[in-house]
């Protein structure tokens, strides 16, 4: 009976005990994570195929969306399935796979946040400096920014996790466990650079975009008033303001809702104060942001709906389908 309760029965003194979650908790975790994982992979794969296949979609903005979709696709294909399989089970894959898993988690998360910041900068330049946008933002420069985003993510997380990389089992209390715990300093640095910094940049840029959109609506109002009724102009201006506010609200609120619980949980390090179900829900909410990204950054584009129909109908298999008019 004692051996049946251990992850590694041959290591009686050092083996972890097998988790004994309630059946309702296990069912809830599987039902919650499995559909999100499939949906995340499917939606981001559609984005990747659309931008990669149709030549007319090869623009700097879409290249950033493609990079974001790649990182989010890896979340749906790699991170979430591992979370589903090992949330309430012993870790049987060894220290090497434990290190690899957490390194991939941190790199993909950082690159996803970095891509969101790059998209915010791109939209800021497109709206606030439209005359010089085409000369300042090119495909070549965008490719360099995307590569730097991924390279910096690898280097940054290698530095953050250097102690974990040297001794991957130092935080494990027994065999059959795979955990990484950042100390207060590295946890605070990661909180600032991966959450506070990016969200500050996004808020400032989108507030600037919102102000420019409002000022432009007010600037054209006198000219339109000369040929149209003042009431219709006022309604149009208000619609522009509301549309900019909704876009800003969706981006910021979704990012905060998905990331804030996870980072608050991580920086406090109070893993013993929450149940396994609560911890799984926080991670699920964190990963759910990768499912919402294609909705926020791609579904709002008319070309995505058109490309989705062509992909589903297998029209992309036809000759010269990459030359289709998508805009």
Q: Are 199 and 256 in contact (CB under 8 A)?
A: yes
pLDDT tens column, 189-211: 888 888 888 888 888 888 887 78
Mean pLDDT of the chain: 78
> What was the pLDDT predicted at 274?
55
Q: What is the three-class DSSP state of 177?
A: coil
Q: What is the three-class DSSP state of 25?
A: helix
Distance of alpha carbon 37 from alpha carbon 247, whole angstroms? 25
Q: Where are the domains of the chain?
A: 25-320
pLDDT tens column, 156-181: 999 988 888 888 777 777 777 788 87
> What was the pLDDT predicted at 48?
92
The residue to which tokens 């049987």 are assigned: 92
User: Which pTM was predicted?
Assistant: 0.82
pLDDT tens column, 57-77: 888 988 988 998 999 899 888
Which range in 78-82, 89-93, 182-186, 212-216 is most confidently predicted, on average pLDDT? Answer: 78-82
Q: What is the three-class DSSP state of 175?
A: strand
Could you tell me which of 35, 30, 143 has the C-alpha nearest to residue 87? 30
Q: What is the DSSP letter of 16?
A: P
Any idea of the CA torsion for 151, 189, 166, 16, to the nearest 10 degrees?
-120
Instruction: List, as one string, the DSSP characters of 107-124.
Output: HHHHHHHHHHHHHHHHHH
Q: Point out which residues pair with 17 in neighbouring strands.
A: 6
Q: Does domain 25-320 have CATH number 1.20.1070.10?
A: yes
pLDDT tens column, 257-299: 887 777 776 665 554 445 566 776 777 788 888 888 888 766 6
pLDDT tens column, 210-250: 787 677 666 655 655 555 544 444 444 445 444 544 555 67
Residue 260's Cβ-side half-sphere holds a number of Cα atoms within 13 Å equal to 7
């Amino acid at each position: 009976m004692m051996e049946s309760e251990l992850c590694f029965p041959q290591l009686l003194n050092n083996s972890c005990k097998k988790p004994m979650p309630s059946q309702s908790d296990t069912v809830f975790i599987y039902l919650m994570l499995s559909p999100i994982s499939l949906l995340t992979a499917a939606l981001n794969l559609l984005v990747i195929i659309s931008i990669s296949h149709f030549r007319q979609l090869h623009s700097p903005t879409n290249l950033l969306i493609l990079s974001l979709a790649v990182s989010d696709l890896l979340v749906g294909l790699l991170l979430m399935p591992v979370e589903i399989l090992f949330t309430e089970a012993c870790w049987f894959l060894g220290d090497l796979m434990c290190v690899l898993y957490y390194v991939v988690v941190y790199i993909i998360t950082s690159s996803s946040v970095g891509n969101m910041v790059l998209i915010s900068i791109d939209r800021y330049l497109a709206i606030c400096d439209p005359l010089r946008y085409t000369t300042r933002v090119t495909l070549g420069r965008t490719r360099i920014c995307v590569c730097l985003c991924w390279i910096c993510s690898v280097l940054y997380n290698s530095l953050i996790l250097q102690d974990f990389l040297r001794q991957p089992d130092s935080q494990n209390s027994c065999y059959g466990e795979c955990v990484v715990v950042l100390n207060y300093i590295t946890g605070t640095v990661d909180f600032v650079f991966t959450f506070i910094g990016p969200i500050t940049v996004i808020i400032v840029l989108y507030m600037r975009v919102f102000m420019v959109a409002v000022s432009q609506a007010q600037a054209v109002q006198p000219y339109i008033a000369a040929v149209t009724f003042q009431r219709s102009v006022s309604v149009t201006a208000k619609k522009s303001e509301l549309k900019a506010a909704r876009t800003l609200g969706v981006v910021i609120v979704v990012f905060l809702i998905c990331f804030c619980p996870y980072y608050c949980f991580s920086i406090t390090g109070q893993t013993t104060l929450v149940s396994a179900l609560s911890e799984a829900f926080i991670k699920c909410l964190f990963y759910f942001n990768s499912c919402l990204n294609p909705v926020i950054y791609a579904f709002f584009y008319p070309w995505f709906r058109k490309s989705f129909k062509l992909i589903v109908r297998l029209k992309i298999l036809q000759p010269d389908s990459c030359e289709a008019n998508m805009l």
